Amino acid sequence: MATAFLFPGQGSQSVGMGYELYEQHEEARARFETANEMMEDVDLLALMFGLGSSSSDPEGRLKQTEITQPALYTHSLAAMAVLEAGGAEPDMVAGHSLGEYSALAAVGALSFEEGLRVVRRRGELMSEAGDRRPGSMAAVLGAGIAHIESVCEDISAEGEGVVQPANYNAPGQIVISGDVEAVERATGAIEGRAMPLSVSGAFHSPLMEYAREGLAEMLDTVSIDSPRCPVYPNVTAEPTTDPDEIRQRLTEQLLSPVRWAPTLRRMHEDGATRFAEVGAGQVLQGLVGRTLGDDVEAVGAGLSDEIESAIGG
């Protein structure tokens, strides 16, 4: 029985995340404190834990992309430190968008510190890209892939804005992203229920080109090693352990769809029957269930009791 570790992305954050890991586990506390020191001008732990924060709105601050990304990354790697201390190791890993960086750091392709430095800059660049060219995203439920892709292609071809699938999350759950008007027109034309998402930019679309350029420059300075197990990049949904390919896929990721459902299917084909969500929330566990059904087990690994069960299992 192979085990896959999955790492969440934006949308899984909440005030209080990681606090009991900080309180109960020395390995996790060390990760949290290192991150807080590296953030310098931001009291990351106060925002994450909601304790003594100088911000009157820690929840709002935690939703800001440049804060969300290092917060989620830190929580996931703190949970991973506790898992490792208990002897738990994955056979394969993947992360949803930002979570791909957490996955890489979890299996040694990035150091914790290097990964944190990159995700903080990634969040800043994505926020700046959203300011330079505002866009939007919407979740579409109950519509077929081919229909959604066709509508997006037709609207983009008209030349008054672009829209494309951004996340293939699960059967019947796809997120689209692009220029505000183009997204609005697409949601009106798609035969399914559409829900606007509260985001600061059109992530995983051509509107992130400014962020992609800045991230590519930074990634050229980052040391990426071979991971201890296969990583499944969002861009391809195919396993790799090659550092050069990993670097390339991270650069492409900002403009490309997150192929999450295909990733889960490929991991299952490669032997994964147990999926552990390492970090905040339960979003990825739900997507595993919707994509793979009862053939697999999906568990959390972001709280102490969950981690103990994951280690025991």
Return the active site residues. Answer: 97, 204
Distance from C-alpha of 118 to C-alpha of 139, rounded to nearest angstrom: 27
Strands 135-141 and 193-196: antiparallel
Token pair for residue 145?
Answer: 């892939």
DSSP type of residue 207:
G
Does residue 28 contact residue 18 with C-beta atoms inside 8 Å?
yes
Give the other-Cβ count within 10 Å of 190's Cβ. Answer: 21
Token pair for residue 165?
Answer: 């699938």
Secondary structure element (H or E) that encloses residue 77, with its range: helix 65-85
Does residue 69 contact residue 120 with C-beta atoms inside 8 Å?
yes
